[in-house]
Amino acid sequence: MNYNHIFSKIYDTLEETENPGEVASYIPELKNINPNKFGVHLTTLDGHHYSFGDSDEKFSIQSIAKVLALVLAYQLENEKLWERVGVEPSGTPFNSLVQLEYDKGIPRNPLINAGALVISDILISHFNEPKKQFIDFVRKVSGIPGIDFSVKIADSEKSVGYTNAALVNLMKSFGNIRNDIDDVLDFYFNLCSIEMTCKELSRTFLFLAGYGVCPYSNEQIINASKSKRINAIMQLCGFYDEAGEFSFKVGLPGKSGVGGGIIAIHPDKYSIAVWSPRLNKKGNSIRGMKFLELFTTETQASIF
């Protein structure tokens, strides 16, 4: 299938309509991005690449990185992981505090902020040098040694991270955070600060299309059962209180970030990364979601 042709056709369709939404501004450093950037990259399991627009420009992947932290924590903890975090869609915003009190400090799922903070706490407990060992894992999965945190973005988020601090404090009071609160927040802000291009993002997540195996290195990152479950969590929780909408319109497991990126997986076929920084009120990329909706419609291929 000539995906390049489809990409430019869909982009032309999008250009005929207005480009609404705002870039994330609650993290000061994210305000500096050109809101009209647009990139897409698709990598197939059999090694073909298709791209369009600003696909080689790095951006802050933000919450998309939560999936990689989850993969590593699941690998280390196995099914014990689910004693500390659930697998249910939250139906609430990504940084919501409300359910956490009812649920006695157990986050509904690992992709909302509360869940990713618990995952951060778990990784800190396993490692001597958590940030280094985590980024080494991301480099291994992506096969790209240059992938890194952005100190500038992590520091910028730390300077305003009051809600995340509230989440971690509340969970600590329920006994679901074992390490020092500042260490957990520092790890979490760095996790969210990782920068990738669409091409790098699509390559990094290809193992989730390949039942846990990186096709370019043949390395098994996680087994097929765990890969299935990570995809299931993305399908149900990857877009917070818009997860149903994404599933309904796109029909693929995916994950968004407030940097404007989205990764989506077609198991057994490909991973696709889209980047468009203008967000809706729920913190998801408007054009990114629309692009993927038109893409799965035009190609008549989704998991359903």
- Binding residues (CB under 6 A) for ligand DON: these are 62-63, 94-95, 113, 157, 164, 192, 256-258, 283-284
Minimum CB–partner distance for residue 193 and ligand DON (Å): 8
Give the burial string for 179-214 (b: 16+ CB within 10 Å, else e).
beeeebbbbbbbbbbbbbbbbbbbbbbbbbbbbbbb
Ramachandran angles phi, psi of 43, nearest 5°:
-120, 125
Minimum CB–partner distance for residue 239 and ligand DON (Å): 7
Single-letter amino acid, residue 154: A
Nearest alpha carbon to residue 72 among 187, 185, 164, 195 = 187
Minimum CB–partner distance for residue 66 and ligand DON (Å): 8
Single-letter amino acid, residue 28: P
Tell me the β-bridge partners of 42. 50, 272
By beta carbon distance, the residue nearest ligand DON is: 63
The single residue listed with the structure tokens 């957990």 is 184
Q: Closer to ligand DON by CB, 247 or 256: give it.
A: 256
Minimum CB–partner distance for residue 194 and ligand DON (Å): 11
The span from the CA of 263 to the CA of 256, in Å, is 7
Q: Closer to ligand DON by CB, 214 or 234: give it.
A: 234
Q: Closer to ligand DON by CB, 80 or 281: give it.
A: 281
- Determine the 3-state secondary structure of 235 from DSSP: helix
Q: Closer to ligand DON by CB, 191 or 214: give it.
A: 191
* Helix axes of 3-15 and 286-299: crossing angle, nearest 10 degrees: 130
Minimum CB–partner distance for residue 90 and ligand DON (Å): 12
Minimum CB–partner distance for residue 209 and ligand DON (Å): 21
Q: H helices within 194-242, ranges in order?
A: 198-204, 224-237
Ramachandran angles phi, psi of 235, nearest 5°:
-60, -40
The span from the CA of 24 to the CA of 83, in Å, is 33
Minimum CB–partner distance for residue 3 and ligand DON (Å): 25
Q: Closer to ligand DON by CB, 276 or 284: give it.
A: 284
Q: Closer to ligand DON by CB, 42 or 258: give it.
A: 258
The single residue listed with the structure tokens 């989704």 is 302
Q: Closer to ligand DON by CB, 62 or 271: give it.
A: 62
